């Protein structure tokens, strides 16, 4: 079975998440992703993606009857709606150019049924960039990271190495001074082309294998 996504609006208090997940565990349904946050009205919202589900109506009815639950909504998963993510980090001008190439290429694939979304953040400073790169490993659905700047190395390079090793994220770097270019899977001089290649590297509808050009510079 495919993924099923539900959003549960609840009374905001300690132990609600545990109560909901216990109900799901009793049905031997696997939770693949969850996100908990507080709404502006003070209510709690629990977003869950489930797999290996059967007779979901019984589970939903039990959740709706739970004392802290106000509302249960069933919808498509974030993977179905937003799909794979391309993260672009670096200087504002370079990030904008990479995003231009990535958005144009993603549009071409999304028209054909793919789902690829583009996230950007312009940042400066070694520690700030290293923290942002490390955080990529904590984000869901990330397919590729593009480092778009004028100088990156040191702690940023260490963070790139960890993200590649621990989370199997494709890393593309613009050509620049610094050791990041030695850690990236691919170095691309033109920022627009870097954005295009990042999308092609993760798209199911693209005939492109980054392993065939890995550790090269263009």
pLDDT digits (tens, 9 = 90+) for 4-25: 899 999 999 999 999 999 999 9
pLDDT for residue 170 is more than 90? yes
Phi then psi for residue 200, to 5 deg, are -60, -30
pLDDT for residue 212 is more than 70? no
Calpha distance 193→20 (Å, rounded) = 46
Q: Are 24 and 31 in contact (CB under 8 A)?
A: yes
The hierarchical CATH code for the domain 4-79 is 3.30.70.260
pLDDT for residue 217: 74
pTM: 0.87
pLDDT for residue 147: 97
CATH fold of the domain at 82-217: Rossmann fold (3.40.50)
pLDDT for residue 47: 96
pLDDT for residue 208: 72
Question: What is the DSSP-derived secondary structure letter of residue 203?
Answer: -
SS3 state of residue 37:
strand
Instruction: Output the six-digit token pair for 32.
Output: 């693949």
Q: What is the mean pLDDT of residues 126-133?
A: 96
pLDDT for residue 1 is more than 60? no
In degrees, to the nearest 5, what angle opens at C-alpha 69 toward C-alphas 63 and 73?
70
pLDDT for residue 53: 76
Q: Look at the block and give the residue holding tokens 């549009």.
A: 107
- Give me the percent of the chain exceeding a pLDDT of 90: 77
Helix residue ranges, H only, 10-55: 16-26
Calpha distance 124→149 (Å, rounded) = 9
Q: Are 183 and 171 in contact (CB under 8 A)?
A: yes
Q: Where are the domains of the chain?
A: 4-79, 82-217
Each residue of 71-99: pLDDT tens digit? 999 999 999 999 999 999 999 999 999 99
Calpha distance 218→189 (Å, rounded) = 6
């Amino acid at each position: 079975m495919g993924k099923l996504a539900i959003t549960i609006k609840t009374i905001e208090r300690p132990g609600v998440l545990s109560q909901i997940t216990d109900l799901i565990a009793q049905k031997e349904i696997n939770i693949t992703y969850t996100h908990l946050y507080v709404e502006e009205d003070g209510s709690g919202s629990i977003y869950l993606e489930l797999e290996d589900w059967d007779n979901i109506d019984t589970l939903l009815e039990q959740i709706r009857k739970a004392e802290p639950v106000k509302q249960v909504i069933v919808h498509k998963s974030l993977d179905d709606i937003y799909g794979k993510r391309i993260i672009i980090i670096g200087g504002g001008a370079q990030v904008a150019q990479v995003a231009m190439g990535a958005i144009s290429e993603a549009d071409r694939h999304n028209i054909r049924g793919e789902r690829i979304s583009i996230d950007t953040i312009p940042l400066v400073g070694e520690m700030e960039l290293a923290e942002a790169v490390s955080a990529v490993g904590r984000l869901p659905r990330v397919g590729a990271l593009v480092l778009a700047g004028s100088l990156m190395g040191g702690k940023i390079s260490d963070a790139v190495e960890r993200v590649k090793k621990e989370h199997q994220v494709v890393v593309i770097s613009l050509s620049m001074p610094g050791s990041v270019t030695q850690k990236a899977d691919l170095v691309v001089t033109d920022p627009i082309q870097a954005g295009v290649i990042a999308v092609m590297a993760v798209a199911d509808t693209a005939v492109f294998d980054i392993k065939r050009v890995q550790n090269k510079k263009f």
